[in-house]
Amino acid sequence: MKNILKFLCIILSIQSINAQQESKITDVTVYLDGAEINRKTDINLKSGTSEFTFNNLSPYIEESSIQISGLKKASILSINYGINYLSKQKQNDSITALKDQLKILDGKIQNEYDLISGYNEEVSLIQSNKKLGNSNKVVNLEQLKSFATYYRERITELKMAIHKSNRRIEDYGKKQTDIKQQLVEFNVDDKVQTGEITIKLNSDKPLSLDLNISYNIKNAGWFPIYDLKADKINTPINLEYKAHVFQSSGCDWKNVNLVLSTGDPNTNNEKPIVNPKYLNFVSTYSNYQSQRATRSYNYKYNPLVKTVTGVVTTTSDGLPLPGANVVEKGTSNGVQTDFDGRYSLKTSTGNTLQFSYVGMKTEELPIHSSTMNVALDEDNALEEVIIAGYGTSKNGYASSVTSIKSEDIVSDLYGSASGIRIRGASSVNSKNSLLYIIDGVPVTAKAASKINPDSIESIEVLKDASSTALYGSRGGDDGVIIIKTRNTEQRKENDLGIIIETGLTNTSFKIDKTYSIPSDGDVTVIEVDKFSVPANYEYFTAPVLNENVFLTAKIGNWEQYNLLPAEANVYFEGSYSGKTNINPGATTDSLTISLGVDPNIVVKRTQRNDFKKTTFIGSNKVVYKGFEIEVRNNKQSNIQLTLLDRIPITQNKSIKLDDIETGTSKYDKEKGILKWVISLESGETDKVEHSYSVKYPKGKRVNL
């Protein structure tokens, strides 16, 4: 009896196991690729151990990112995340309505098939009883007429009824096809599982907790898009900065507070190590591949892009590459460029395009814009060199800090953050794997070491269960150091009432009202900022590549606008001019934006007749080239135009250039670029000329 009472006391000291707990999404920070979800819930704890399960969560949670706060004096014994394959995701009302329509149509189709079956049975019954009378009874003429009429009319009615049912089945089938296509457009995922977070808490006394649960997901993000509007030339450009937010996490975001961050938690934050490069001879037939640097494009996938067009050229001379392959990575969907290097590709399920050509290095870019022009580098993969990776790298761990105090961290942090260790964390001989959180952002030890101690406002040290509770498995090794700095963020409010915070590594936009974003992958457009931007307008043409004249606007001091690489819709003089791309990643001190082609300025580049000749001098062939470029201003206003052309540069001592005439241009000998700045009044025409000769051995071919 005593053992039974003891067992009951143990059971009563533990609250209900697997108690289902409701939680609500209140705040979401959306990154360029991914999002941080914040949920809130109220929990009443009794003394002892309690276990709670938060269900109906996203099945795409990154387990290591789960954080829990608001514990007061309660402690966390464990946190577990798993998938419940028996629980179904709740789909949004529009998708549910469409699926209900499919079921209704299935029922109607089955009903028509049942009617057809009944009609056929009746036809069969009538046809099997066509014989009238028997050997003892003769059917008179009136009876025969009456039966014939009935037979004809009834069979006709049945055939017509069968035909109508078949027509209705066909109509219902077409409606089903339309609904299924719409579901495909909604990116409906057939997966039905949901995520669950189970936490086990312990408390010495009853507590009421306001718990905050946060975690990261990948099936979400946002991408910028711009509207550029200029009423007329020589006036400021109105730039509207918009965010397209999307998510397919399996959970709808209803009336949540949104923060849009330019950060990307999926970026590789490890700095590269440059080892010596050793040259040696290799076999001519070896499959040596030269190492290529990772390029920094900062482009992000845009799920709205359904068709991509562009031109593939070479980086060396800007010439188009006909026959280049453009393929959606991971699919068989692809095209080849035409004679002018142009392509057009309808996207399917991929989010990256691969550009390849024989003798060129393959390029990969996220599908970020409806216009993607790519220049490919030459591939020197067959050069007779080899890279051997020699040398060693040192871990560089400084002596550990055996006692932790804020002042100790401040003194040791600057330049030596990797040497800090929290007492009692891991073993003495283990490598230091401290997690550094600076102003809410996880950073590496080297990044933390660059902080000026004078800018540190406060330091908090977490270790053991407390660090695991707040920062998941990332904080469970050697602990967490939370650093808050002074004046690391510039905080302002724009004309739209949106708070913009500019930090050390990213910019965030705190939206001033709540939003509801369904989990259907569709986008919600949010206007985050707008500017009136001073700009210098200029007409530009390079007829050696394209005889169109482009109107460009040059923006100075552009870094103040927190722009990201993105597509822009251009509106000029009250009408839509097309699309362009903004690339703030350029290293120039100004940002040049193309506002479109102006058909009222005509440029024509022709070869001069007096230079269409070829001569032979000894064993050499001499080709003479001369060009005339004519520009006419058909606009009602005066213009200034920048015109570029080029004279080739030899890469072989057997190919010699001579008789170079650059006319009135500004000539860059190293690059071979000719530049004219031409001012034209309304209706005025101007001409410029340049020429050269090329001498090379007979029997050789040169890419003139």
Give CA–CA dist 160/648, Å, rounded: 79
Residue type, 233: I
Give CA–CA dist 339/28, Å, rounded: 48
% of the chain residues with pLDDT over 70: 76
Q: How confident is residue 437, by pLDDT bands cut at 50, 70 and 90?
A: confident
When mean pLDDT is compared over 288-302, 507-521, 665-679, the highest value belongs to 665-679
Q: What are phi and psi of 256, to 5 degrees?
A: -105, 155
Q: Which helix (H) or strand (E) holds 311?
A: strand 307-314
Of 487, 504, 501, 500, whose CA–CA distance to 442 is shortest? Answer: 504
pLDDT higher than threshold 80 for residue 163: yes
Q: How far is CA 27 from the centre of its chain?
A: 22
Question: Picking from 236-245, 309-318, 508-517, 678-687, which range would have the lowest pLDDT averaged per residue?
Answer: 309-318
- Over residues 26-51, the pLDDT tens digits come to 999 999 889 999 999 998 888 999 99
Mean pLDDT throughout 345-350?
Answer: 87
Q: How far is CA 319 from the centre of its chain?
A: 29
SS3 of the chain: helix, strand, coil, percent, to 5: 20, 40, 40
- Over residues 349-391, the pLDDT tens digits come to 888 999 999 888 899 998 988 888 898 988 764 443 333 333 3
Q: How confident is residue 481, by pLDDT bands cut at 50, 70 and 90?
A: confident
Mean pLDDT throughout 642-668?
Answer: 92
Per-residue confidence (pLDDT) for residue 133, from 0 to 100:
55
Per-residue confidence (pLDDT) for residue 617, from 0 to 100:
84
Which residues, in sequence order, are CB contacts of 474 under 8 Å at separation 6+?
Answer: 64, 65, 435, 442
> 472 in helix, strand or coil?
helix
Per-residue confidence (pLDDT) for residue 403, from 0 to 100:
37
Q: What SS3 string covers 268-282?
A: CCCCCCCCCCCCCCC
Considering the entire predicted model, what is its pTM?
0.64
Q: Which has more pLDDT, 473 or 614?
A: 614
- Cα separations (Å) of 640 from 115, 194, 228, 637, 667? 78, 62, 22, 10, 19
Give CA–CA dist 108/113, Å, rounded: 9
Q: How confident is residue 149, by pLDDT bands cut at 50, 70 and 90?
A: confident
Give CA–CA dist 684/589, Å, rounded: 33
Site of tokens 């027509």: 167
- CB-CB contact of 642 with 542 (8 Å): no
Give CA–CA dist 24/186, Å, rounded: 25
Q: Which has more pLDDT, 478 or 431?
A: 478
Give CA–CA dist 445/294, Å, rounded: 23
- Cβ atoms within 10 A of the Cβ of 376, count? 20
- CB-CB contact of 558 with 590 (8 Å): yes
Q: How confident is residue 666, by pLDDT bands cut at 50, 70 and 90?
A: very high
Per-residue confidence (pLDDT) for residue 627, from 0 to 100:
93
Give CA–CA dist 538/554, Å, rounded: 8
Per-residue confidence (pLDDT) for residue 652, from 0 to 100:
87
